[in-house]
Amino acid sequence: MAAPFQPANYRAVNPYLLVSDGDRLLRFLHDVFDARDLDISRNPQGRLQHASVAIGDGTLMLGEPSGDWKAQPSSVYIYVPEVDAAYRRAVAAGATSLSEPTTHAYGDRGCGVKDVEGNIWWIGTHLGPPNSSKA
């Protein structure tokens, strides 16, 4: 439940991505992470000004450059139910593979992709407690 000083469906910390083509990133988020639109604001010419989407139990916001604010790549870690399937969807949606799904000693199976806007997505599925054995 959101605190009284933040909107419903939002956490205290919400990533905000500034991208050159917001509609393209929204399609990526829908296709790969099954994002659900919460809020879409456009200027009178139809250009995306602001969008909020729900992914799982989190919220991601994004907008397009304006004035002094320029697009800039970001990096986000996101947990999904099936990392291998999300990885395949991301690559099919035009992302570049940075690392294929691998099981890590810290308890996550994860991978990395770069989307068409240059953002890096570290995608993981938590499998259980970290491996405590010494390698």
Domain containing residue 115: 16-126
In a domain, 105, yes or no: yes
Question: In the block, which residue shows the tokens 């800039």?
Answer: 72
Lowest mean pLDDT among 29-33, 88-92, 111-115, 126-130: 126-130
Q: Would you state the structure tokens that stand for residue 97, as one six-digit string?
A: 């593979």
Closest to 91 measured CA to CA, from 123, 53, 125, 54: 123
Edge-to-edge strand list for the sheet holding 96-103? 75-79, 120-126, 108-114, 96-103
Query: In which band, very low, low, confident or very high, does the pLDDT at 128 lie, cut at 50, 70 and 90?
Result: confident
Mean pLDDT score across all residues of the chain: 92
CATH number at residue 39: 3.10.180.10
Residue recorded with tokens 């990533």: 15
* The pLDDT value given to residue 135: 42
* Cα 25–Cα 36–Cα 66 angle in degrees, nearest 5: 40
User: Has residue 99 been placed in a domain?
Assistant: yes
Mean pLDDT, range 97-115, rounded to an integer? 96
User: Does a structural domain hold residue 8?
Assistant: no
Q: What is the DSSP letter of 72?
A: B
Residue 134 has pLDDT above 50, yes or no: no
Per the structure, how many domains does the chain have? Answer: 1
pLDDT one-digit tens code per residue, 31-71: 999 999 999 999 998 889 999 999 999 999 999 988 888 99
